[in-house]
Amino acid sequence: MSVQLLSDALGAINAKYIDEVLTYEPPAKRRPTHIWLKRCVAACLAVVLCFGTFIAVNAEARAAFVSWIRNVFEDAIVFFFQREPTDATIPDFHCAWLPESMEAEELLNSNNQGYVIYSDENGRSCTLFYTYMSEGTSGIVFDLSGTGLPYETVSINGSYGELYSDIEDGAYNLIWFDETSGIAFDFNSIFMTREEVIKMAESVKEGAVLDFMPEYKFTWLPDGYYIDAELTRGSHECHLASSSPAGKNLRLKYDIFEAASLEEQFRIKSETPGVDLAVGEQDAVLYLNIPNGKNSLLWLDKDTGIAFRLEAEENVGTMIAIAEAIQRK
């Protein structure tokens, strides 16, 4: 079966499913008091059930206890984090060792957590997720669908970890806690062996994946704008979005320049009239009202070979100012 066929099949499902998605309203967030109550229960349970043996005899566990609490629910295991919240931005992490033909597909790093998705052409895939173990951040949840999964305790470079396995399709969830950095790592895999999972986990090191695009950021935006989303960042391209309370939004896309022209790179029709401008010392071209209601400013950084497209509902001067204030992270 091809993915195209499956995509076609999805396109042919009854419209009631699509309507369900379009009209879906998420349940109201749990009240803080409810969450606190649950945490208290979790903490009490952990103390009552485990303290005597678990904490007393195991130094690692004693250290871990102050950072996280493992709580078993009917259909999930939730790790509640206990450390003081931090304002620090979490560093990038990646796996220094990868199985043959596996490569990084997508990554995201947003303040206190991030992830890298790896995959290969044989359908094997894994995600390295990492987060500060700060109180108030989301606990890591394994959706067990009520079945329960076997797990074993492991040591990843000296850090305590738990490896959950689902033997049938080689799916693994490996979580480990680096008490030194205060970061929890969660590694999910499918169609991979236990040895590969452990080896990838042990190879995790600080630093961005080298094959990925350089990162850029807005260093200036017009009043009222705020950065609300960093969209996918991949080995070939990146999107950065920003919006204002007035509902205006702007989007920056940058990509390795591989086409004959910027217009071809960003697929603007050749007959479309543009205005020649400059962003800093780089040649640029502005297309008015493309896409509809916005303007598009295109330019190429000849030093890095990165092509940029800025879309915004702003005038020429403002767009140039935004563009010139875009810098590498």
Partner 1 sequence: MDDNKIIDLFFERSELAISELDAKYGKTCHKLSYNILNNTLDAEECVNDAYLGTWNAIPPERPNPLLSFVCVLVRRYSIMRHRANMAMKRNSFYDVSMKELEQCIAAPVDVEGSVEANALARIVERFLDTLTKENRIIFLRRYWFSDSYAEIAKHTGLTEKNVSVRLTRTRKQLREHLIKEGVLT
Residues 283-322 that bind partner 1 (CB under 8 A): 290-292, 294, 296, 311
Binding residue (CB under 8 A) for partner 1 from 35, 55, 108, 277? 108
Listed ranges 84-92, 186-194, 195-203, 211-219: which one lies at the site for partner 1 (CB under 8 A) = 186-194
Task: Please list every residue from 68 through 107 that binds partner 1, using CB under 8 A.
Answer: 105-106
Beta bridge partners of 309: 253, 298
Determine whether 104 is exposed, middle or buried from the number of CB atoms within 10 Å of its CB (0-12, 13-18, 19+).
buried
Q: Does 229 bind partner 1 (CB under 8 A)?
A: yes
For 229, the token pair is 């989303």
- Tell me the three state secondary structure of residue 174: strand
For 251, the token pair is 């989007």
Q: Does 7 bind partner 1 (CB under 8 A)?
A: yes
DSSP at 169: G
- For the bound state, the minimum distance from the C-beta of residue 168 to partner 1, rounded and expressed in Å, comes to 8
Contact by Cβ (8 Å): 38, 79: no
Count of all residues that appear for the chain in the document: 329
Q: Does 260 bind partner 1 (CB under 8 A)?
A: no
Distance CA 102, CA 209 (A): 13
Q: Does 20 bind partner 1 (CB under 8 A)?
A: yes
In the bound state with partner 1, the residue whose beta carbon lies nearer, of 290 and 321, is: 290
For 171, the token pair is 């799916």
Distance CA 207, CA 91 (A): 7
Binding residue (CB under 8 A) for partner 1 from 62, 217, 236, 302? 236
DSSP at 52: I
In the bound state with partner 1, the residue whose beta carbon lies nearer, of 83 and 253, is: 253
Task: Please list every residue from 34 through 73 that binds partner 1, using CB under 8 A.
Answer: none
- For the bound state, the minimum distance from the C-beta of residue 271 to partner 1, rounded and expressed in Å, comes to 12
In the bound state with partner 1, the residue whose beta carbon lies nearer, of 47 and 234, is: 234
Task: Please list every residue from 137 through 176 that binds partner 1, using CB under 8 A.
Answer: 138, 140-143, 145, 166, 169, 171, 173
Q: Does 197 bind partner 1 (CB under 8 A)?
A: no
Q: Does 4 bind partner 1 (CB under 8 A)?
A: yes
In the bound state with partner 1, the residue whose beta carbon lies nearer, of 158 and 258, is: 258
Contact by Cβ (8 Å): 241, 249: yes
Distance CA 171, CA 283 (A): 50
Q: How many residues of this chain interact with partner 1, rule: CB under 8 A?
A: 71
- For the bound state, the minimum distance from the C-beta of residue 16 to partner 1, rounded and expressed in Å, comes to 8
Q: Does 6 bind partner 1 (CB under 8 A)?
A: yes
In the bound state with partner 1, the residue whose beta carbon lies nearer, of 65 and 287, is: 287
- Alpha helix segments (H runs only) across the chain: 3-11, 15-22, 32-50, 56-57, 59-65, 194-202, 262-265, 316-324
